[in-house]
Structure 1
Amino acid sequence: MDTAESFQNENEATDYPAASGTDRETSYLGIDLGTSVITICNNKGSTFSEYSLIARDNNPDSERDDEDRLYVGKAALERADLELNWPVKDLLYKGGNCGNLRALIEHCVQAAGITAEHEHRYAMISVPPCADASYRRAVVDAARPLFRGLMIANGPFCVAYGNKKINGSIIIDAGACKTDICRIHDCMPEDRDYLNVPVAGENIDQELVDLLAEKYEGSTVTKELARTWKETYGFVGDADEECRVELPIGDSTEDVMINEELRLACESIIPDIVSGILRIVSDAEPQFREALRNNIYLCGGSSKIRNISSFIENELREVGGGKVFLLDRPECAGAYGACMLAEKMPGEFWEKLSNLDNAKKSDVIL
């Protein structure tokens, strides 16, 4: 079993510093392929995020060239006339198109300002612990032409590594489609160390849509609009501001306050997350359980809901207690840790890896 401590270094995660003494012609990238958001960190200290979404204008009469016909992230959301594709989600759950994922990654690498040529780019891609071999292979197939060296890494381990939390912690990565709960204790996590909880941000969005439809007859709120309100006002527990929105009802809108519905929607995922934490703790060796309970760290897009760490901690008090902490810049934690891992790998390792075929590369995972 590999020892996680062998990969730990001294950088502080909260500052996201550029590496010292690094060849300026070489870029080491950490890429977190979220189903909703893709995040890229590089060894020069910069971070880039965008919705994991693309749309293509396939109109044969369009005067735009092929590259200009691709819309990514927010630009794609603005094209209501085009079919939207979520490449990461499609590949993870439906076995989608590798070409769409490659287009997404390539666009975001360019948008992130990565100027190093292909031969001087190395990437560590963070993937969910539940990702199977076919998904990892698809990611490698999609991304390999863009980098000299490429490796897949366990997402929660990347988070723990980047935040120096590998010595006895629980990482909760609350994303859009699911919440990963992973136990990290001195070694690379195995299958028995993680739990996939099938509730996350999209469940909140749908619950908010349903609650508003129940209260306001004729409500035409979409999941996309609900997501925007959640990202702007989302909270659990006590609200610190009024959440007033223009609610679409039929052909008009109405100014309403949605505090109660938003609170209920955001709190709807908490019981399953708490149950997952308890299961992960109870499955650990008895001598490690107290340390794990008191070192629970939240990251991911849904972790930005106001008060979520203290709310979960309060829920845990009813079942034995625990300490829950929100990581700094939680939406970037996976990409930053992946970048640190990429930079830590020795040059000869990357050289050997670059000579493997894609099928074997997908089997090399941290």
Structure 2
Amino acid sequence: MTILEQEETTMQEQEHSEYETAPAEETSSGRSATPQAMSDHTLVGIDLGTCRTVVVGADGQELEIRSVVGYPKDIISRQAVGDGPLFGNEALEKRNFLDLCHPLAEGVIRDASERDYQAARELIHHLVDKIKENSNGERVSGIIGVPARASLMNKEVLLKVAREVMDTALVVSEPFMVAYALGKLNRCIIVDIGAGTVDVCGMKGSVPAPEDQVTTFKGGDYLDERLEAAILRRHPGAQITRSLACRIKEEHAFVGEPERPVEVTLRVEGKPARFDITEEIRTVCESMVPNIVEQVETLIASFDPEDQEETLKNIYLAGCGSRIRGLDRMLANALHDYGDVRITCVDDPERIGAKGALKLALEVPPAHWPEIGLMFG
């Protein structure tokens, strides 16, 4: 039985209302931990991503970290890097000493092993502890984003981890956080392209219902895997890894006609060599387009007919994948049969979800958070 299945079994023995209307716990100072009394809390917005996790605080703090945790391999490694764990870029820089764990798959906690669960717990603890350190030890409460169609089980497992370090937490869908940051809550479609998932969400003036949201799994990790395979097929002697393919994608990704050839330096039997991978990266990046178009078409049809024309002019791309050059134009061209289609790439796509979560936390009274998503506190 996987760790998630174990958690699900335990949680099914409890009432779900524990997370929504649990009695206030008393802190050591005797103060109630109810969400209504949060003046002494640091409010945060958290975008929990497969590749990167971003935290923004009401006090101006911003943290961005690669969602990776590293553990020393053996006694020699521990002498070099300490007992660990190490997080983010530090873990990647010292990867030869470490067993790396990427605990978030498709934007939620993996269910592969106890170690994935433990790594996710330590990653969240690390981020919240950093916030607390810079906030004079104040308590932390806030809103966490997850993929649009994350299961109830995954949300509850995430809340179980979060409640170890946060006083109050709410879980909502990532594209809804983007829409809230933009102030686009009606006649709008958000396409949030992350590493693990692509979330498409139709905003119709209220908290989006399950049928207004779609999650697919052809995100950045899918492109990395396909790009690595494509380069090896075309250039069998090239030495390429998944992480190297990711870096190449992040620097050169495009769809449509190339502005210039894409040439990269790889190694063959240890020696550097130049390779033209223009066609490979174009083909791989364009492979995600039909799926996005299909989901957008489905959501457009779900809007009231009198709202569809305006909705088509308010399609927004967010997430790291929105930086793929030419993607907005290609999607608009694919939807041209619907009329005047306008697709906008948001500013600061990596942080906009966390900023929207913080904005939501600041503007909506915590007493009403249970109306928005799953919470404890």
Same fold by TM-score, threshold 0.5 exceeded?
Answer: yes
Question: Take 2:80 and 2:159, find their aligned partners in 1: how far apart are those partners?
Answer: 30
Partner of 2:13: none
Amino acid at match of 2:239: T
Q: CA deviation at 1:346?
A: 3.1
Amino acid at match of 1:94: D
Question: Take 2:43 and 2:353, find their aligned partners in 1: how far apart are those partners?
Answer: 14
2:111 equivalent to 1:94: yes
Going from structure 1 to structure 2, the CA distance change for 1:203 and 1:63 (only over 3 Å counts) comes to closer
The 8 Å contact of residues 110 and 117 in structure 2, kept in 1 or not, is answered as: no
After superposition, what is the alpha-carbon deviation per residue over 1:169-198, rounded to whole angstroms, capped at 9, x for unaligned? Answer: 101111112211010110111111011222
Going from structure 1 to structure 2, the CA distance change for 1:176 and 1:148 (only over 3 Å counts) comes to same
Question: Take 1:38 and 1:257, find their aligned partners in 2: how far apart are those partners?
Answer: 33
The 8 Å contact of residues 159 and 375 in structure 2, kept in 1 or not, is answered as: no
Going from structure 1 to structure 2, the CA distance change for 1:349 and 1:95 (only over 3 Å counts) comes to farther
The 8 Å contact of residues 200 and 295 in structure 2, kept in 1 or not, is answered as: yes
* TM-score, length of structure 1 as denominator length: 0.82
**What does 1:121-270 correspond to in 2, within 5 Å?**
121-270=140-289
Partner of 2:71: 56
**What does 1:206-355 correspond to in 2, within 5 Å?**
206-318=225-337, 320-346=339-365
The 8 Å contact of residues 132 and 138 in structure 2, kept in 1 or not, is answered as: no
Range that drifts further, 68-77 or 329-338:
68-77
* TM-score, length of structure 2 as denominator length: 0.80
Question: Take 2:373 and 2:336, find their aligned partners in 1: how far apart are those partners?
Answer: 41
Question: Take 2:156 and 2:367, find their aligned partners in 1: how far apart are those partners?
Answer: 23
After superposition, what is the alpha-carbon deviation per residue over 1:222-279, rounded to whole angstroms, capped at 9, x for unaligned? Answer: 1111100111121122333443211233333311232222122111111111111111
2:105 counterpart SS class: helix
Going from structure 1 to structure 2, the CA distance change for 1:177 and 1:286 (only over 3 Å counts) comes to same
Question: Take 1:123 and 1:47, find their aligned partners in 2: how far apart are those partners?
Answer: 14
Range that drifts further, 84-93 or 112-121:
112-121
Which of 55, 58, 61 is matched with 1:40 structurally?
55
Unaligned runs of 5+ in 1: 1-22, 354-360
Amino acid at match of 2:310: A
Q: How many residues are treated as equivalent by the alignment?
A: 333
The 8 Å contact of residues 179 and 190 in structure 2, kept in 1 or not, is answered as: yes
2:353 equivalent to 1:364: no
Q: CA deviation at 1:25?
A: 6.2
Question: Take 1:345 and 1:283, find their aligned partners in 2: how far apart are those partners?
Answer: 27
Partner of 1:356: none
Going from structure 1 to structure 2, the CA distance change for 1:120 and 1:217 (only over 3 Å counts) comes to closer
The 8 Å contact of residues 169 and 185 in structure 1, kept in 2 or not, is answered as: yes
Partner of 2:98: 82
Going from structure 1 to structure 2, the CA distance change for 1:276 and 1:349 (only over 3 Å counts) comes to closer
Going from structure 1 to structure 2, the CA distance change for 1:241 and 1:42 (only over 3 Å counts) comes to farther
Question: Take 1:255 and 1:155, find their aligned partners in 2: how far apart are those partners?
Answer: 39
Question: Take 2:335 and 2:368, find their aligned partners in 1: how far apart are those partners?
Answer: 43
Q: CA deviation at 1:77?
A: 2.0
The 8 Å contact of residues 148 and 173 in structure 2, kept in 1 or not, is answered as: yes
Question: Take 1:24 and 1:214, find their aligned partners in 2: how far apart are those partners?
Answer: 58
Range that drifts further, 88-97 or 149-158:
88-97
Range that drifts further, 142-151 or 91-100:
91-100
Going from structure 1 to structure 2, the CA distance change for 1:59 and 1:362 (only over 3 Å counts) comes to farther
Going from structure 1 to structure 2, the CA distance change for 1:81 and 1:320 (only over 3 Å counts) comes to farther
Amino acid at match of 1:144: R
Question: Take 1:114 and 1:313, find their aligned partners in 2: how far apart are those partners?
Answer: 46
The 8 Å contact of residues 98 and 138 in structure 1, kept in 2 or not, is answered as: no
